[in-house]
Amino acid sequence: MMRLLGNLMMMLVAAGLWMSAAQAQDGPLRIEITDGVMEPLPYAVPDFIPENGAAEEMAENVARVVAADLSGTGLFREIEEDAYISRITSFSSPVEFADWRAINAQALITGSVAVEGEDVTVKFRIWDVFAGQELGEGLQFAGTRSGWRRMAHKVADEVYSRITGESGYFDSRVVFVSETGPKDDRRKRLALMDYDGANVQYLTDSTSLVLAPRFSPTGDRVLYTSFESGFPRIYIMDVADVDRRVLQSQEGTMSFAPRFSPDGQQVVFSLETGGNTDIYLMDISSGEETRLTRAPSIETAPSFSPDGDQIVFESDRSGSRQLYVMPATGGDAQRISQGSGNYGTPVWSPRGDMIAFTKQSKGRFHIGVMKTDGSAERLLTASFLEEGPTWSPNGRVIMFTRETQGAQGQAGLYTVDITGRNLKQVRTPDGASDPSWSPLQE
């Protein structure tokens, strides 16, 4: 009997516990969202407001360059002016968020331009339309009439950075080899342009063959290989005054494929001597050389990791061209490329997390990326011939050379997002190859 009553008591206690548990369930509903959409972010950038008569044309042009930069990334989609419900009539007038929400503009960029003589001032604001608030604070840039495109690029970089949380790449330049003439008599010279193909300038004439220009980490100097002396030699050029000098000249050798170290003080390159090619490191100021590899095979195309600790390069020591990583001081190299086919021209991403490369497989060429340990290989492009990837300053975009087939085939520069989307050709006046992307300009 007592036992039964005890059990009953326990039952009552247990029931009480359960009920208290049930009543305690008043927390929020929890749900998990794991599938999103991948769509360009819709934004609006109405023509900037001219603050005086002289600024009218420029106000429109600046907004157009900003829009071209943003939409060109493939990450943003501009909403056409036709769709606007409300107009921006003054830089300082309040924004009718509801009107911009109605056309689904998630970001709105407003700005104004003032021109006085040669001086140009650009002001702008970025609005988070759905949150109904300004994204960051208004900024203004002051410059000159001739530098208006750079100011527009700077505005676009700021917008990109505030919306994505990552730095932009619009106010940057590209050094490349400009090519004219048919394939059997091609003339090549070094050229420099804005990242979007504007403002092309030539750095050398076409009397001697030039190859593989590479920007320094600060964008003030360029390394390249020239056949000026009859043999390939590495030159270093000051971009500001086009002053150049031979960096390495050892009789009876060929040197090529140079790249700066991240501190800009050293150059890593390939040296061919007695039929064997190995990788060397040279101190720019002293000219002192250190040999990093000692193999009977061909080691070339070295590229530093951004922290300066490691070097990735290509070698055919296994019988096919593959990618290897070694310490920056030389020593044991670890093979990282594991797929079939040939791998070449590896370039370490400025973010340090990936390596871009050229891959040749089954008669086709690809530009691809892999993690620095060789895992997660992804091919981004495929065509008859493409090579020579270079990273945008923020590590988001890769520019490379693509050459079309046939005697009339021409080389051109293309860009692709690291997701493999948004493949585009960069507008250049002539054929173009071997691009090297500068850092963001200051």
Site for another protein in 335-364 (CB under 8 A): 353-354
Among 2, 38, 296, 405, contact with another protein (rule: CB under 8 A): 38
Rounded to 5 degrees, φ, ψ at 275 are 85, 0
The reply on whether position 103 binds another protein by CB under 8 A is no
Q: Which residues 113-132 are close enough to bind another protein by CB under 8 A?
A: 123-125, 128, 130-132
Tokens representing 282 are 């040279």
Q: Which residues 192-231 are close enough to bind another protein by CB under 8 A?
A: 192, 199-205
Among 32, 80, 185, 332, contact with another protein (rule: CB under 8 A): 32
Q: Which is nearer to another protein, 34 or 286 (CB)?
A: 34
DSSP assignment, residue 217?
A: T
Maximum distance among all Cα pairs of the chain, rounded to whole angstroms? 113
The reply on whether position 37 binds another protein by CB under 8 A is yes
Which helix (H) or strand (E) segment holds residue 59: the answer is helix 56-72
Report, in Å, the least distance between residue 442 CB and another protein: 6
Rounded to 5 degrees, φ, ψ at 291 are -85, 130
Among 2, 53, 80, 94, contact with another protein (rule: CB under 8 A): 94
Stretch that binds another protein, among 27-35, 56-64, 383-391, 408-416 (CB under 8 A): 27-35
Q: Which is nearer to another protein, 201 or 273 (CB)?
A: 201
Among 80, 82, 184, 442, contact with another protein (rule: CB under 8 A): 442
The reply on whether position 89 binds another protein by CB under 8 A is yes
CA–CA gap between residue 436 and residue 442 (Å, rounded): 18
CA–CA gap between residue 376 and residue 374 (Å, rounded): 7
The reply on whether position 425 binds another protein by CB under 8 A is no
Q: Are 293 and 330 in contact (CB under 8 A)?
A: yes
Q: Which residues 146-175 are close enough to bind another protein by CB under 8 A?
A: 146-147, 150-151, 154, 163-166
Pairs from 372-378 (Cβ < 8 Å, separation ≥ 24):
372/305, 372/310, 372/312, 372/325, 372/336, 372/348, 373/336, 374/323, 374/335, 374/336, 374/337, 374/338, 377/337, 377/338, 377/339, 378/420
Report, in Å, the least distance between residue 358 CB and another protein: 20
Q: Which residues 368-397 are close enough to bind another protein by CB under 8 A?
A: 396
Q: Which is nearer to another protein, 29 or 407 (CB)?
A: 29
Question: Where does residue 88 rank: exposed (0-12), middle (13-18), buried (19+ CB within 10 A)?
Answer: buried
Tokens representing 329 are 């001081």
Report, in Å, the least distance between residue 376 CB and another protein: 9
Q: Which residues 284-343 are close enough to bind another protein by CB under 8 A?
A: none
Instruction: Please list the residues that pair with 235 across neighbouring strands.
Output: 224, 246
